[in-house]
Amino acid sequence: MKEILLIEDDYLDVESVKRALKKIGVKCNLSVAHNGVDGLTALTGNDKISPDLIILDINMPKMNGVEFLNIIKSYYSLKNIKTFILTTSVEEYDKLAIENLGVHGYILKPLDFKKETTDDTRKLLAELLENN
């Protein structure tokens, strides 16, 4: 079973991602952290997990997505984990991609996996989880 870590502070978005993954038929263990600090704890703490994919919100309290990406990039054991960002705009993804923060894809909020525009994301997500 694939392991996904979702870092997102908004309950509605967490629920949306859960339902969306279910809808496109991704079977996985989904762990949820509510901000960057919790996310890091989950990756490095006592009961640490090693997810195949991290889905990450950018605007979060305590530690935001960008800070989180910068930190895991510096960990040898964490820097190869694939990351997707949850964002409202493609521009934000492009910005992060240019900054070379090791972001592999994006999921546009609001989540709607039925739309054609998110087909690419869907395909990428499926491939990523299967190839691992």
Partner 1 sequence: MTIRLKLLLGFFTLIFVFVVVFFANQSLAQEVLTNTNYLNNSESVIRNSNILHKEMIEMQSGFRGFLLTNQEVFLEPYYEGIKSVPLILIEQKALLSSAQQKSKLDSIYILHKEWVAYSDSLITSKKDTLPEGGKRYQKLFDSKLKMEVGKKLNDKIHEMYTSFDNYEYGVRQERRFVLQKSIKSTRLISIILLLTSVLMGLVSSFYFIRIITTRISTMVNLAEHISQGSFKTLVDSKNDEFTKLLNSLNKMSETLNKNFEELKKKNKELDQFAYVVSHDLKAPLRGISNIISWLEEDHEKDITPEVNQNLILIKGRVLRLENMINGLLEYARIEKTRKGAEQVNINLLIQELKDLLVPPKTVVTIKEDLPIINAEKLHIEQVFANLISNAVKYNNADKPEIIIEYLDLGNYYQFSISDNGPGIDKLYFDKIFEIFQTLQERDAFESTGVGLAIVKKIIEDNKGSINVESMLGTGTKFAFTWPKN
Residue 13: how many other CB atoms lie within 10 Å: 18
- Nearer to partner 1 among residue 112 and residue 127 (C-beta): 112
Q: Which of 47, 110, 117, 130 binds partner 1 (CB under 8 A)?
A: 110
Q: How far apart are CA 92 and CA 41, in angstroms?
A: 26
Report in angstroms how near the CB of residue 71 gets to partner 1 at its nearest: 27
Q: What angle do CA 23, 117, 36 make, to 5 degrees?
A: 65
- Nearer to partner 1 among residue 16 and residue 121 (C-beta): 16
Q: Is 19 in the site for partner 1 (CB under 8 A)?
A: yes
Which positions touch partner 1 (CB under 8 A)? 12, 15-16, 19, 109-110
